[in-house]
């Protein structure tokens, strides 16, 4: 499966026609394209062009609504602002805030808006105590498993490209953090994925 979107971290590569090209691609998308993403906001760097980022996000949220697709959301240092945009657009198909590393309050706000929280390699680092604590406290029904391959390497694999099969290692750590039995965690996560992206295994 695939998603199509204009990433905020690659803003300099998005020309004025990029949004039109995305719209055309979504218009004639194959069934394997199940989401708009990765889209979002990012305040990392010297010149993030934040106003342009917000405009691009809004336009892509409109496309997601138009084509009834969920979104895969990127958010770095922008959780509160992103939540404001999501609330304003009120998508019928929501999506996932991927690679989440914010506070419990911020996570709960996304969940209240109907979004899942992406659980990836960050939780494999014992020093990531804030994120691990948030993931342990959220309802299991609000979580999705991810790797962000080839980015976000897991603990013990720094400097190596991440790979989709590393999701199994993320799952193992998640099971250590959660009170539920392993088989229940696996079933709920799988059903969450099916529900968000309207796919079956």
State yes or no: 74 annotated in a binding site.
yes
Q: What is the CA radius of gyration of the chain?
A: 16
71-76 sheet: strands from edge to edge: 2-4, 33-42, 71-76, 95-97, 116-119, 143-145
- Tell me how far apart the alpha carbons of residues 57 and 60 are, in angstroms, rounded to a whole number: 5
Q: Which residue has the tokens 């804030």?
A: 130
CA-based torsion, 18, 21, 23, 29: positive or negative? negative
Q: Is 79 annotated as a binding residue?
A: no
Q: Is 148 annotated as a binding residue?
A: yes
Q: Are 133 and 103 in contact (CB under 8 A)?
A: no
Tell me if 7 is assigned to a ligand binding site. Answer: no
Q: How far is CA 177 from the centre of its chain?
A: 20
Closest CA relative to residue 35, chosen from 60, 61, 63, 71: 71
- Residues belonging to the binding site for a divalent metal cation are 38, 74, 98, 148
- Residues belonging to the binding site are 38, 74, 98, 148
């Amino acid at each position: 499966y695939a998603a199509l979107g204009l990433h905020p971290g690659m803003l300099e590569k998005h020309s004025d026609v990029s949004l039109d090209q995305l719209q055309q691609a979504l218009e004639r998308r194959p069934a394997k394209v199940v989401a708009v993403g990765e889209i979002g906001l990012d305040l990392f760097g010297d010149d993030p062009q934040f106003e342009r980022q917000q405009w691009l996000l809004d336009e892509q949220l409109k496309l997601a609504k138009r084509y009834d697709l969920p979104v895969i959301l990127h958010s770095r240092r922008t959780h509160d602002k992103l939540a404001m945009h999501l609330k304003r657009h009120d998508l019928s198909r929501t999506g996932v805030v991927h690679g989440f590393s914010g506070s419990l309050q911020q996570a709960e706000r996304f969940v209240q808006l109907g979004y899942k929280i992406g659980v990836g390699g960050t939780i494999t680092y014992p020093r990531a105590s804030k994120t691990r604590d948030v993931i342990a406290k959220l309802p299991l029904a609000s979580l999705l498993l991810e790797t962000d391959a080839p980015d976000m390497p897991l603990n013990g694999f720094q400097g190596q490209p991440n790979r989709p099969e590393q999701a199994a290692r993320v799952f193992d750590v998640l099971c250590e953090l959660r009170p539920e039995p392993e088989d229940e965690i696996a079933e709920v996560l799988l059903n969450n994925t099916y529900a968000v992206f309207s796919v079956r295994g």
